[in-house]
Structure 1
């Protein structure tokens, strides 16, 4: 009983601190720029903290630990490929993205192809954010149900309410500050756990694992491997939370250094749950659900103080992604639909709309969490939906002068539609929205359909007056930078 009280007190104290930070930063929110991109004044260390906190969430820690517990290194393929693509994106494009001073990813598409592409691109970007909101709510509810003993459904509702309140108050300003705190805690917790596990079982599970192919990155098969890379990797060229943070950085150099260092630290942070999952095989009883392996280690096998640290660090890591997904979708609605398509310019109305949308996004994410209970499915499905409609258009914006607005619009609608169609059919017929048919996963279908739509649409149409290839063409931006 005493142990439970200590854990609950630590858990509650953390939430009180987060809510206090949100209340403190509420006074700084007067414009859409304050709410969505933190006033464009984020310095290096806060940027590093929010990058790591957004990349490494509680859903990631739980899912990778569970996957490593069952199969090994291959469980981390979607996340490792994500950080690889983020690093390429950061090295090539971050300076320019900061320079254009926008709010959302659809802003970038509209800059190149005109307003026609804004709404469809916003819809697919929001879809991913809402699905990942559901993923984080599910993860957070799972932790709360284990820590406090509440039913999963009640835990998810409570976690959603807490997130809504502190996002409503402080917007991106409070998110970035709390992400830094959460990054420290979510790193400290696994490090302590790993040290304790090594002390308990030694290094034998690492050097001589009991599961075959533990250290094979393609243990699930090369078809599945490349499917996961395709579904999770390319999306990170169009990962709007990182675009928003780049827009929020105070200058180009800060954006570049913060993104690259933050991504490197994210990569190394992923090593922790992989090692924990493999070591857990010698500690966690066989009747424990793999998805509960990490909570079980903290709460059943470790000292009380480690359990309390778990309650804080894991909940913090979940919140650091959950708040990002919520504000990501909110920015799309307020900027790309309410302001740009409906013509609202009053700052008070824009901030109010952002707060209303925050509540709606959390409510939809909660409904999603009740519907799909597999964290891995949510992650892959969310990435596939956004990647399918937007990746080929982003590549065209960076690399092609000949692509037209008609081609881009067709690629977004038809490519994204192909993802939805294949995922829905796979979900109904095979019980998994990410599997697909005959080796054609939803994201592969989207790449094929989207690329064909872009090519054909561009060939049969002429550039519209509002198109501006020079505004985004990467070779043009590189030449301008070299000329300075």
Structure 2
């Protein structure tokens, strides 16, 4: 396929504009060289910037291409990604956002390290890291396929260039650069997505009567467990993300943080409608009557490309180029958020809190920047080796749902939660999830849950089961260990994680370095034993 020179020039100009805007906006933070400025933008965001950057972060390439893929192939009943994620965002906006903003954390992992200790909080960074990498890979992969189909560009080069642009302005400007480019990118998204619909519908090869019986989709009775699992995972798995709370923590007040998150959920849900319609258009098209040379009917994996295929074969070239601009804007707005979120947590909660407590601001800034480059690189590599964009879009919420969600609920709302419970819940949740297998990553199942099918795999909502087991393990083990230590059943000298041991009463041991550390969580209710027995 020949390269579309005009389209290539237009996208190149768009990338240059975004790069310039990002670097200029980022000058606010680079003047001070303050890590906190890069992390939360001096907590200066108003309603407009906060809501737009949050919505733009949600609406990535995986969101657009994945929604079109699911809607066109499986119907409305299975196009639940945007619905679940935005419901979760709205709940987080009401329940969690005001609370964490009021505490003025730097990242959402601060409460974990304050309550469970630096190392346990660092361990909980693992699900976030994997989720961010899958998320970045999904959106970069979506852009790569779009540029390769519509403009005839090599997918590898498309992914690499897109990742580099997002990394460069995030590298220099931090959250300021990301937020202000997001506002511009959201505008490009809305225009590009809406413009493709009328041209696609008016194409003579599109006949909506072909999908009047299938556009809603079908939910087979044996798939109800999988469906419940997926919708719960999307709602609750979308709530613990650092990328969301990075914007929440940058808001001027807790009230504004709540309102901005709710408004962002509405905006991003509305932006899911155009790609869903594009998916229907792709399903209603007679591809034999187009210049498309692939297999017809479309195979399962080909539906991953349905959005760029509609742009390329059913719309005028000018509209296709504008549509590519929409996908490019979506990718930039989410890719920069992924790398910044991961880099912020690593620099603040891993490097500074665990390895270098006395690190200078300049040192932390450079750790952040190096991490941004590494995460951007790894995400691009994954993007070039995956299959379904929608599969990655769903998978990125998986570990966040099973492992991170119960941890977040307990650290914020369960008073007795401690390191013993957190570690137990982490191990149990992770084991049960991995033991259930993951076909998308070619991981076989160690446990065949009820309703297991040889062809379709786990039909039981085992992810929800793993999440609940993790949640109750945290609460149960935390309650038992608190009672044992505070009532004197077990001597505090055996409090390995020092959850209830004051520094002054720790008996001297051969490990003198342990004695120099502050307690992770002091017992705030010394009369707990009396309360429990009465």
User: What is the TM-score normalised by the length of structure 1?
Assistant: 0.88
Alignment of structure 1 residues 146-225 onto 2, 5 Å: 146-200=149-203, 205=208, 210=211, 212-216=213-217, 218=219, 221-225=223-227
1:236-293 deviation per Cα after TM superposition (whole angstroms, max 9, x unaligned): 2212211110001122232122111111111122122112211222336145622222
Instruction: Report the alpha carbon displacement of residue 13 of structure 1 after superposing the two structures with TM.
Output: 0.7
Partner of 1:479: none
Structure 1 contact 175–320 (Cα < 8 Å) conserved: yes
Which one of the candidate residues 117, 128, 132 is aligned to 2:131? 128
Structure having the higher helix fraction is 1
Larger C-alpha radius of gyration, 1 or 2?
2
Q: Is the 8 A contact 1:57 1:318 kept in 2?
A: yes
> What do residues 399-456 of structure 1 show as CA deviations (whole Å, max 9, x unaligned)?
322332210222123323433443458743569xxx9954346633531441343144
Matches within 5 A, 1:63-78: 63-78=66-81
Select 2:265's aligned residue among 263, 266, 272: 263
Aligned residue in 2 for 1:339: 352
Q: Residues 43-89 of structure 1: CA distance to partner in whole angstroms, max 9, x if unpaired?
A: 21111211111111111111111111112112321321111121111
Gaps of 5+ in 2: 288-295, 446-451, 486-498, 501-519, 525-534
Q: Which residue of structure 1 lines up, in the alignment, with residue 82 of structure 2?
A: 79
Cα distance between partner residues in 2 of 1:335 and 1:457? 29
CA distance in 2, matches of 1:4, 1:94: 45
Residues 252, 408 of structure 1: CA spacing in aligned structure 2 closer, same or farther, 3 A cutoff?
Answer: same
Residues 365 and 196 of structure 1, relative CA distance in 2, 3 Å threshold = same
Task: Report if aligned partners of 2:22, 2:180 keep a CA contact under 8 Å in 1.
Answer: no
Aligned partner of 1:404 in structure 2 is 418
Change (3 A) 1:11 1:209: same
Distance in 2 of aligned mates of 1:311 and 1:23: 23
CA offsets, 1:211-259, max 9 Å, x none?
A: 6453257469322211211322211221221111000112223212211
Q: Which residue of 1 aligns with 2:470?
A: 450
- The structure, 1 or 2, with the larger RCO (C-alpha pairs under 8 Å, 6+ apart) is 1
Match of 2:245 among 238, 243, 246: 243
Deviation at 1:350, TM superposition (A): 0.7
RMSD over aligned Cα atoms? 2.8
Q: Determine the C-alpha separation between the residues in 1 that align with 2:311 and 2:410.
A: 47
Which of 103, 108, 115 aligns to 1:100? It is 103
Q: Distance in 2 between matches of 1:142 and 1:280?
A: 16
Residue 321 (str. 1) matches residue 334 (str. 2): yes
**C-alpha distance 402-14 of structure 1, shift in aligned 2 (>3 A):** same
Unaligned runs of 5+ in 1: 471-484
Contact 1:84 1:233 in 2 (8 A): yes
Contact 2:89 2:239 in 1 (8 A): yes
Structure 2 counterpart of 1:10: 10
For residues 279 and 373 of structure 1, what CA distance do their matches in structure 2 show?
Answer: 22
Q: Counterpart in 2 of 1:226? A: 228
Q: Is the 8 A contact 2:56 2:183 kept in 1?
A: yes
1:298 to 311, 323, 326: 311
298-307 or 5-14, larger mean C-alpha shift: 298-307
Determine the C-alpha separation between the residues in 2 that align with 1:378 and 1:61.
13
CA distance in 1, matches of 2:397, 2:232: 9
User: Is residue 374 of structure 1 aligned with residue 399 of structure 2?
Assistant: no
* TM-score of the superposed pair, with normalisation by structure 2: 0.80
Give yes or no for contact 2:426–2:470 (8 Å, CA) kept in 1.
yes
Aligned match of 2:19: 19
SS in 1 for 2:172: helix
